[in-house]
Structure 1
């Protein structure tokens, strides 16, 4: 579903150029859930944004469902295949647009018909129900807003979802609900996920494999079973796993 080879992403120009991602390569099979983990600033979200066409300063090769993508231009066919769910549900929804307007616009942009029926189906799919259709973002909780954002991403029946820390801005009590929803949607719709997270427990719950990143590079690609066992091959991976388990006694 996704093949990334020798991806470089940078910002600015010499002598102030910042190389955010350096020679990153990985593949994600159809139906797989693949995690990108690492400390803040390691380049995880930058990779997703480059794939999604939100950054144009990149080089390398990115193939989605066998089709190469170039620069920041993405056509309708790409966005029918790939959608992204962002970290902050408070920022990703227009405050003056109702849930109905958000989903109607997404469906229209994807060239869908039977929009009224599809809106109701999307709301049912994400566990909101039709009573939320004409509410505005300020009338929704953080978890409900993220459900709307997920519904919007599903509007075009995509095959690949890019998930950028989809629960980190939510209360702990709500995070599990959203993760369980994403697990159910993946199974029901045959979706492929690439998930960025700083929380190894989330990745351990959601993903089949993961790449550990440091300073813009992939340090190690591992099976999630190895993560659960704490069996990283690289020193940095083992340090990250230990740190995620809590503070060590001096």
Structure 2
């Protein structure tokens, strides 16, 4: 479903150019959930944004469902295949647009018909129900806003969802609900996920394999089973796993 080879992403121009991603490569099979982990600034979200077409200063090869992706803006067919869910549901929804307006716009942009029926189905899919259709973002909790953002991404009926820390801005009590929703949607719709997270427990719950990033480079690709066993090959990965285990009394 996704192939990334020799990906380099940069910002600015010499001598102030910043190389955010350096020679990254990985593949994601159809139906797989693949994680990108690493400390802040390691380049995880930058890779997602390059795939989604939100950054055009990159080189290398990105291929989605067998089709090469260009650096410039994608066409409608691309966005019918790939959608992104952002980290902050407070920022990703327009404060003056109702849920109905958000979903209607997404459906119309994808050339969908039967808008009313599709909106009702999308709201049901994300566990909101039709009573939320004409509410505004300020009338929703953080978890409800993220459910709307997920519904908006599903409006295009994509095959690949890019998830940029989709629960990190939410209360701990709500995070598990959203993660379980995403797991259910993946199974129900046969979706492929690429998920960015700084939380190894989240990746261990959601993903099949993961890539560990350090300073813009992928230093290791491993299975979730290896992650759970602590069977890392690289020192940095072992340090990351140890740090995620939290404080241990001496």
Q: Aligned ranges for residues 168-247 of structure 1 at < 5 Å?
A: 168-247=168-247
Q: CA deviation at 1:73?
A: 1.5
Partner SS, residue 162 of structure 1: strand
- CA shift for structure 1 position 75: 0.4
Q: Which residue of 1 aligns with 2:8?
A: 8
Which TM-score applies when normalising by structure 2?
0.99
1:97 aligned residue: 97
Aligned equivalent of 1:65: 65
The DSSP-based 3-state class of the residue aligned with 1:91 is helix
* SS in structure 1 at match of 2:78: helix
What CA RMSD, in Å, does the superposition of the two structures yield over aligned residues?
0.7
Mapped partners of 1:3, 1:52: distance in 2: 13
Q: Deviation at 1:8?
A: 0.0
The two structures have a TM-score, normalised by structure 1, of: 0.99
CA contact (8 A) 1:165 1:195 kept: yes
SS in 1 for 2:90: coil
Per the TM alignment, residue 249 of structure 1 is displaced from its structure 2 partner at its CA by 4.7
Distance between the aligned counterparts of 1:204 and 1:227, measured in 2?
7
| Partner SS state of residue 212, structure 2 | strand
4+ aligned runs moved over 6 Å, structure 1: none
Are the equivalent residues in 2 in contact too, given 1:50–1:72 (CA < 8 A)?
no
Residue 72 (structure 1) shift: 2.7
**Structure 1 residues not aligned, in runs of 5+:** none
8 Å Cα contact 1:204-1:224 kept in structure 2:
yes
Instruction: Look up the SS of the partner of 1:240 in the other structure.
Output: helix
Per-residue CA shift, 1:137-168, capped at 9, x if unaligned? 00000000000000000001000000000000
Cα shift readout 1:193-213 (whole Å, capped 9, x = no counterpart): 000000000000000000000
| Aligned position for 2:123 | 123
| CA deviation vs aligned residue, 1:195-240 (integer Å, no higher than 9, x gap) | 0000000000000000000000000000000001111110000000
Of stretches 68-77 and 147-156 in structure 1, the one that deviates more from structure 2 is 68-77
Structure 2 CA distance for aligned equivalents of residues 247 and 36 of structure 1: 24
Q: CA deviation at 1:90?
A: 0.1
**3-state SS of the aligned residue for 1:90?**
helix
Does 240-249 or 23-32 show the bigger shift? 240-249
| CA distances 1:55-85 after superposition (whole Å, capped 9, x unpaired) | 0100000000000011132000000000000
- 5+ residue gaps, structure 2, are none
Q: Aligned-pair distance for 1:248?
A: 4.4
Aligned residue number for residue 133 of structure 1: 133
C-alpha displacement of 1:247: 2.5
Structure 1 contact 35–194 (Cα < 8 Å) conserved: yes
